[in-house]
Amino acid sequence: MNKEGDKGSQSPNLSPLAPGKCPQRIARRGNYGAFLMDKLPLIKSLVEKLALNLNVPVSCKIRIFPNLQDTINYARMLEDAGCSLLAVHGRTRDEKDGKKFRANWGAIKAVRDAVRIPVLANGNVRHMDDVHSCLMETGADGVLSAEPLLENPALFAGFRTTEWALGSEESFEDGKLDQADLLVEYLKLCEKYPVPWRMIRAHVHKLMGEWFRIHPHVREDLNTQSTLTFEFLYDMVSRLRDLGRIPLYVKEGHAEEIYTNGTVHE
């Protein structure tokens, strides 16, 4: 369960997210996350209990079953139990590698057509073109992103990493922003709102992935640090910038529009 007080929605943690591990091995041992899909009556009772006893909406996030009708029945069951918002990850529980297994947007559309509550689509969203395609193909009310957003938190602002910009048939230009900029902003937030260092370390690796592939000696310096400090991380960013910039990209001619609209604040 994920309780946040009296504000926001309460969400049964039917499919928890963690960097690179969704679902996680620990979820199998702990009997939660997507592994609750084997115990639908239990899931139903959890959602009913929340819906009856909370004064805020209940949201759920699920993966799909190999059989489409099973997925539709699952979604309808959650709706009947009191779920007010349903997020659907278009991969089965066993499809762990997002790059190897494409999310099934058709299954998400089938769920959207089968229920009356809002549905969010999750899977195959790596940049804004994917967002628009997903909304069109699924009819979903919104879109989620997990792994790509960890690497590029500016995804929904219209920025792409080198991988998805240079691999496109369209023209892209330097967006005057890079992952080092985003990392600095993230570190400042962590200083203001402390989180465990293990989480910071994991997010640094995600944000700096492309830089570390080019400069593995900097990554090794990070890995050898048994105790991290903000001073070390800010210094690491400076070192990487001195070694060469790796920009995030925007569609040619769109940079001024993005900044003018206030999407990005320097």
> Could you tell me which of 157, 153, 154, 128 has the C-alpha nearest to residue 143?
128
10 — pLDDT class (breaks 50, 70, 90) = low
| Beta carbons of 97 and 49 less than 8 angstroms apart | no
Rounded mean pLDDT, 49-68 = 96
| Alpha carbons 174 and 170: distance in angstroms, whole number | 14
Could you report the per-residue pLDDT of 218-260, keeping only the tens digit for each? 999 999 999 999 999 999 999 999 999 999 999 886 666 666 5
DSSP-based three-state secondary structure for 80: helix
190 noted as active-site residue: no
| Alpha carbons 127 and 255: distance in angstroms, whole number | 15
Domain ranges for the chain, please list them.
Answer: 25-145, 155-254
SS3 letters for 156-211? HHCCECHHHHCCCCCCEEEEEEEHHHHHHHHHHHHHHCCCCHHHHHHHHHHHCHHH
pLDDT surpassing 50 at residue 23: no
The single residue of 22, 60, 83, 134 carrying the catalytic annotation is 22
pTM, 2 dp: 0.80
Say which CATH superfamily domain 25-145 falls into.
Aldolase class I (3.20.20.70)
DSSP-based three-state secondary structure for 62: strand
DSSP-based three-state secondary structure for 250: strand
